Amino acid sequence: MIIDRIDFRLANDLAELGPLVRALDFFGEAVALPPKTAHRLTLAIDEFVNNAVDYGYPDHRQGEITVSIRHRVEHLEIVIADDGDAFDPLTAPAPDLSGSIEERRIGGLGVHLVRTLATSFAYRREDERNVVTLALALDA
Amino acid sequence: MIIDRIDFRLANDLAELGPLVRALDFFGEAVALPPKTAHRLTLAIDEFVNNAVDYGYPDHRQGEITVSIRHRVEHLEIVIADDGDAFDPLTAPAPDLSGSIEERRIGGLGVHLVRTLATSFAYRREDERNVVTLALALDA
Amino acid sequence: MQIDRFVEKNVVITTVKGRLDSSTSPKLDEFMAAIPEGSSVLLLDFAELTYISSAGLRVVLKAAKLAKGSGVVLAICGLIPPVHEVFDVSGFSTLIPIHPNRDAALATLG
Amino acid sequence: MQIDRFVEKNVVITTVKGRLDSSTSPKLDEFMAAIPEGSSVLLLDFAELTYISSAGLRVVLKAAKLAKGSGVVLAICGLIPPVHEVFDVSGFSTLIPIHPNRDAALATLG
Ligand SMILES: Nc1ncnc2c1ncn2[C@@H]1O[C@H](COP(=O)(O)OP(=O)(O)O)[C@@H](O)[C@H]1O
Ligand SMILES: Nc1ncnc2c1ncn2[C@@H]1O[C@H](COP(=O)(O)OP(=O)(O)O)[C@@H](O)[C@H]1O
């Protein structure tokens, strides 16, 4: 059995991440994802849902975040969308990865990690939503 | 968290039912389906996958069965498709539900159960596939 | 699925735990193929049956036919609502006596 | 997530089991906020850490900064490949010594 696709809908509330992570673990086991792919999948969704909840709704209005996973032959395709304020993660400054422990800034790694681990990454603003589409290799 | 949609793909092999049922159980718990809806969901998929495997491939060729569940506001919409020989379940004879124990025929109940428990039921042949679409009430 | 059997007075009680579907029903079928010597009532206690499909109904009807042919009563008890619904829709509820629980069944049958 | 701490020679070993993400990392942050009196090496044993996100990296860098400022060495051991990958991609692998397992870490640091 293969799970070809699974779509989630969440409130903009970090409490949603617990059940979501359990569902991602179930999916990863059901389709026997390689360990790195499974980790990257949870990481990508965790980072972007956290960012949407933390930064996308500064007025604390209720919001909706959707996550869709398609299981293709050679990769997972992930679409994360939120109705928070417009934000293009491709404009997030790249972190400075050199420098000593004293020099390194704390934070600012989430977007970088996901962009680096994804084999493709795109952003669009569509119907008042931020839509991030990314692919993760299945032969990790 | 809500699971809005989940799509499965199976070989025409009854061994696929074990993992599929575990995934349906996970889905039912994750979205807190009412007990009757959860039972009807597994029943509908179990009956139609069993029938496709048992009757759809008399030459024992390899086949593919897909199951898609969409979680709507008031119902679950289920689409079960197989590339077995054409068969319209609406033509399956209705079982005789009266009669004594001696008179009742063994079998012939699967399609009837699903049709009766579904709030809508449709069949079409499309792209060499049998496609059954049915809805299950969420307020069962 | 787990099947257990024990005897209370003249009633042979068979409990079935778990799922009764195309993969598990052959086991119950085998179990019900012979009626224990000297029994006058067979009670299927389905209190811990969480799921039944038409494959399970098949085995139940077969057992009911065998019992009837042998002059033995077959009854069922303890159906959870989703399983009871399947008995209702299949017309089995009017064919086979269904008791709410084991005590109620034994009070009537024992 | 479960955190345990014990001391082997001059090395304070902190083991972290489970997931280190935005919901669990504050607990590790609190744990690492004070450096035990008289310790010269802090070892984070992540052998049973199954997941780390940027929220976990935050806490690790904070702890590394605190250790450095106190003249204490902070090292890590036991990363499973998916977690090691996150350390590599974040540049942390070149910042903080990473040992394959606790024995190797203690042989070098102890
Ligand atoms: N959905 C978003 N809406 C607005 N700003 C965002 C959003 N996501 C990220 N950002 C901005 O991009 C920065 C970098 O994000 P990230 O790489 O996840 O690191 P961190 O959240 O640790 O700062 C954030 O600090 C924030 O300013
Ligand atoms: N996918 C299928 N292809 C061909 N025939 C089918 C298919 N599904 C069902 N049938 C026919 O319809 C009949 C009724 O099916 P069902 O109600 O499930 O009861 P049962 O399988 O117990 O006979 C079957 O006996 C079979 O002849």
Task: Tell me the average pLDDT across A9-28.
Answer: 98
What's the rounded Cα separation, in Å, for the pair C5 and B112? Answer: 32
More confident residue, A123 or A98: A123
Neighbours of A94 (CB within 10 A): 10
In the prediction, which pLDDT does A25 show?
Answer: 98
SS3 B37: helix
Low-confidence ranges of chain B (pLDDT < 50): none
Tell me the pLDDT tens digit for each residue of C27-62: 999 999 999 988 899 999 999 999 999 999 999 999
When pLDDT is cut at 50, 70 and 90, the band that residue D38 belongs to is confident
Give residue ranges of A with CB < 8 Å to any B CB. Answer: 1-10, 16, 19-20, 22-23, 26, 30, 66, 68
Q: Tell me the β-bridge partners of B133.
A: B79, B122
- Which residue in A72, A87, A96 sits closest to A130, CA to CA? A87
In the prediction, which pLDDT does C54 show?
Answer: 98
Range list of β-strands (E), C1-110? 2-8, 11-20, 41-45, 49-52, 73-77, 98-99
What's the rounded Cα separation, in Å, for the pair C82 and C99? Answer: 15
What percentage of chain D reaches a pLDDT higher than 90?
92
Helix boundaries (H) for A5-59: 17-30, 35-55
Assign 3-class secondary structure to chain D: CEEEEEEECCEEEEEEEEEECCCCHHHHHHHHCCCCCCCCEEEEECCCEEEECHHHHHHHHHHHHHHHHCCCEEEEECCCHHHHHHHHHCCHHHCCCEECCHHHHHHHHC
User: With 90 as the cut, is the pLDDT of residue C10 above it?
Assistant: no
Whether the CB-CB separation of C86 and B113 falls below 8 Å is answered with yes
In the prediction, which pLDDT does C19 show?
Answer: 98
Q: What is the pTM of this model?
A: 0.96
In the prediction, which pLDDT does D77 show?
Answer: 98
What's the rounded Cα separation, in Å, for the pair A61 and A43? Answer: 25
When pLDDT is cut at 50, 70 and 90, the band that residue A111 belongs to is very high
CA angle B62, B66, B69 (to 5 degrees): 165
| CA nearest ligand 1 atom 20, residue | A108
CB contact under 8 A, C82 and B39: yes
Give residue ranges of B with CB < 8 Å to any A CB. Answer: 1-10, 16, 19-20, 22-23, 26, 30, 66, 68
Task: Tell me the average pLDDT across D30-48.
Answer: 94
Tell me the pLDDT tens digit for each residue of D82-94: 999 999 999 999 9
- Which residue in A137, A48, A46 sits closest to A88, CA to CA? A48
More confident residue, C36 or D79: D79
CB contact under 8 A, A1 and B23: yes
Task: Tell me the average pLDDT across A67-87.
Answer: 98
- Which residue in D104, D102, D52 sits closest to D82, CA to CA? D52
Token digits for D103?
């024995």
Range list of β-strands (E), B13-118? 64-71, 75-82
**To which residue do tokens 């903009």 refer?**
A12
